[in-house]
Every structure is written in structure tokens, then in C-alpha cells.
Structure 1
Amino acid sequence: MPPERDWRAPPDEAGSDALAYSDIALGYLSRNPTYRADYTRALRRVKRGTITADDATTRLVRRWGISFHAEPATAFDPKLAVARPDLSPTNIVLAPAPVDTGATQLIDEKQLGTIRARMRIGKYLHVILADSDGDEHIWIAGALDGPLAMMLPIEADPFARLAAAERLCRRLNGMAAGPPTLRPPPFRRLHLLTLLQVLDGLQAGATQRELA
């Protein structure tokens, strides 16, 4: 568990210029006592060798929707967090392209740029692509040795997923990916960080006067 700190100090999440809504979700989750206990148990099991870090992370992600990677050496590292793709529209799922769709080009790993991490989450290979504007998360069903297609569910608000797909396409074509779509504007960012700070104060036993 990260060390205790003064709740009056800006939340740890405030230090990231690439703050996304998923970071806020992770901030709330990391302050949830039940999740922290669940995650700590997973870390202990990984240390004992009774489960792999990837399998432990898979279970946590299925239960909580988002989780830190359960590798003891990098515990509570927000850069290695995983969110279920159905809950995070900025995540892109790649799957073998159907036949007769004209998909012939293979993805060379070099096209992906710097890979921050790769992990096996269930039947998917989850790859985190490092980017100073905001990392990209892709889920690969199968392998990279055949033509792939992006899976974009038909839903009420598909535009965030379309923007994420466009961002990945720019990367694959050697262009700057650019910032992700789901990034809170400055006022919203300040509001969300303030709410996290208030939660820190409540958990630390601060009075209503102190919180005000």
C-alpha cells in the first residue's frame, strides 16, 4: 500500500499532465478499503508463486473493472493499470480480420513504438503503448502473425472509440498519435481532483470545517 500522506497536499493524480477519466476512476478505487485488501491478497499470492501476476490481474479486472497490475515489484503503479475494454472506450480491441474483407497488412511491432508493458489478461494480450500525451491500451485476440481488424461495437456513443481507433491508426502510420479524446478540461480536472482530496480528508478524519 502506498505510504500515508497529508490529505491537504494535492492528490498524487494531480502530478500527471496526461490525466484521463480512467485515472480518476483508479484514484477512487485505490482509496477503496475492500479493493486494497483484495489487491494486497493478490500480491501475496503472486509472491508465494500460487498464481501469476497476469492471472491475478485478470481476476481483479473482472471483479472491479479496473485494477493495478498485480506484480509486487510494480505494485500500485498507475502506468500499469488495466481497465476492461467494455468500460473504457479509449481501449482498442484487435482481432483476426474476417476473410474476404481485404485485410492483408500485418502489424509490425516496430510500428507500435515504445511498449510500456504487455500482459496476458484472460484470452487477450494487453499491450500498453507509451505516449507522453497519454498511453494507448490495445487488446489483441490471437497473435500479430495475421491480418487484424479493430473491433468497434455499435453503441449509442461510439465517437470516443472512433477517436481512439484514429489515434492508433496515426501511430501505425508513423505519425504522432496526439492526445486522447477523453481528457477532462482544466475546470473539470480541478473539480475531480478536489473531490479526491475531500475523500482523502474524510478518510483521515478531517472535520467539515477543515474540509471547507
Structure 2
Amino acid sequence: MPPERDWRAPLNETGDDALQYTDIAIGYLGRNTRYRAEYQRALGRVKRGAISADDATAALVDRWGISYHAAPGAAFDRKLAVARPDLSPASIILAPAVAGIGAGPLDLAALGDIRARIRMGDVLHVILADPDGDEHLCVCGSRHDAMALMVPIEPAPFARLASAERLCRRLSGMAAGPPALRPPPFRREHLLTLLQVLDGRRAGASQRELAASLIHPKVRHYTPTEWTDSAERKCIRRWLKEAVELRDGGYIRLLRGG
């Protein structure tokens, strides 16, 4: 796990306009005890040479829907988190083009700063660094052949279309622009606060201490009866329930921008 931090301190991501839903989703999964244990086992196997970091990552992504890259030197690096493309409309899918439509090969050199290349089975996952929010390409087949953008027929294709447009802008030498799946400020703040709720509970904080630290310090001075009947107690109980649900599977909704 990353170094322990004071759960009362705002998370480093607060105020980060480039923060995407996938970045927050991996934060919740990273606090899941079963995932952490499985990830640590994967890191151990990679260190022993029993499996490659890319193959370990592929297995984790298939099992959990998203995972940190299982490279020991970059463990728990949020910028190297990879999501399943069917779950994340932020993923840009490139596939072999149909013959005769005039498509060309993918020139990785034209994409700018590449943060990572992760091979997962037959798919090359390329993470493009961008100050407005990284882009994730899923390249199916050989990039040296004619390639085309693939937009699956799905109930809500607009976020995926917006992600594809970012790549087109980049390939045209333009700024990619902001990603489609960024939580608005209020939603972002709430989701990050719920991460602090999980961290506080893991550190042994009581519901009252959580409320005093995250809602209002006046809670510390409530009488037992005032605390029992307080709006802050009801609120922190709702937050706890919501945070645990997101940690234990609800993060998948965040991948889809929910």
C-alpha cells in the first residue's frame, strides 16, 4: 500500500481539474482488502519472475475491472491504473480497419508523450500523458496495419465518442481538450470525502470523530443525547454506507461516469 497518511488531511487529488472518474474508482478499489491482498500477491510473483507485470495486470483487470499496473517499481501509481475498455468509455479502442476504407497505420510517435505501454493479451494499452487528463488507447491487432476507431453500439455512446474526438484532435496537432468523464466539482469533493471516511474507519476513528473532522468540529461538544439525535450522525452513517458500497463493487459505476 502507499505510505500511511493522516486521514483528516485533504487528499492530494482535491482541486485537481484533470481528475477523472477512473482515477477516483481506483482509489476506492485500492482500499478494498481483498483486492489489496491479491495485488500484493501479484507483485510478489512479478518480483520472483513467475509472471510478467503486464500479464499480472491483465489478470487483475479482468478480475476487478480496473487495477494499478502490477510493476513493483510503480506500485499503486494512480497514473498507471488500467480499466477494462468495455467498462470504461474513457478508453479509446482502435482495431484493424475494413479493407478499402482508406485508413492508415497508427503512428505512436505522433501521439506525443506516452506514459506507459502495457501489453494485455492481444491488446496494447497505451497511456498518453495529458495535462487535462490522460488518454487511454486500447490497440487491438498490429498498429502497423490500417487502423480505425471503434465505437461500440451501446446505450450511452457519447462519452466514448468524446474520448475518440480527443484522440483525433491530438493526431491533428491540436490540444486534446478536457476529457468527457470528469466529475463536476461538487461530485468530486463528495467522492474524495468518502475516501477519507474509509481511511478514517481503517485508522480506527469513531463515527463521531469522522463527523467532527469532516462535517463540523462542534460535534465534539455534543452531549450523548445531542449526538444521537444529530443531523451529523445521520449524515456520517449515510456516508459510511455509501463509501463501503463504492469500495466493494460500486466503483464500477464510476468507471462508466456514474
Give the TM interval when normalised to the shorter protein: over 0.9
TM-superposed deviation, 1:34: 0.6
AA of the residue aligned to 1:30: G
Contact 2:103 2:148 in 1 (8 A): no
AA of the residue aligned to 2:196: Q
Alignment of 1:5-20 (within 5 A): 5-14=5-14, 16-20=16-20
Contact 2:42 2:70 in 1 (8 A): yes
**Aligned-CA RMSD value:** 1.1
Question: What's the TM-score once normalised by structure 2's chain length?
Answer: 0.79
Alignment of 1:1-212 (within 5 A): 1-14=1-14, 16-100=16-100, 102-212=101-211
Task: State the percentage of identical aligned residues.
Answer: 69
Gaps of 5+ in 1: none
Q: Count residues with an aligned counterpart.
A: 211
- Residues 37-76 of structure 1: CA distance to partner in whole angstroms, max 9, x if unpaired? 0000000000000000000000000000000000001111
Contact 2:53 2:69 in 1 (8 A): yes
TM-superposed deviation, 1:11: 2.2
- Alignment partner of 2:14: what SS? helix
AA of the residue aligned to 1:76: F
d(CA) in 1 for partners of 2:36, 2:77: 13
Contact 1:13 1:23 in 2 (8 A): no
Contact 1:92 1:161 in 2 (8 A): yes
Structure 1 equivalent of residue 241 of structure 2: none
Gaps of 5+ in 2: 212-258
Query: Closer, same or farther in 2 for the Cα pair 1:94/1:43, shift >3 Å?
Result: same
TM-superposed deviation, 1:15: 6.4
Bigger fraction of residues in helix: 2
TM-superposed deviation, 1:107: 2.5
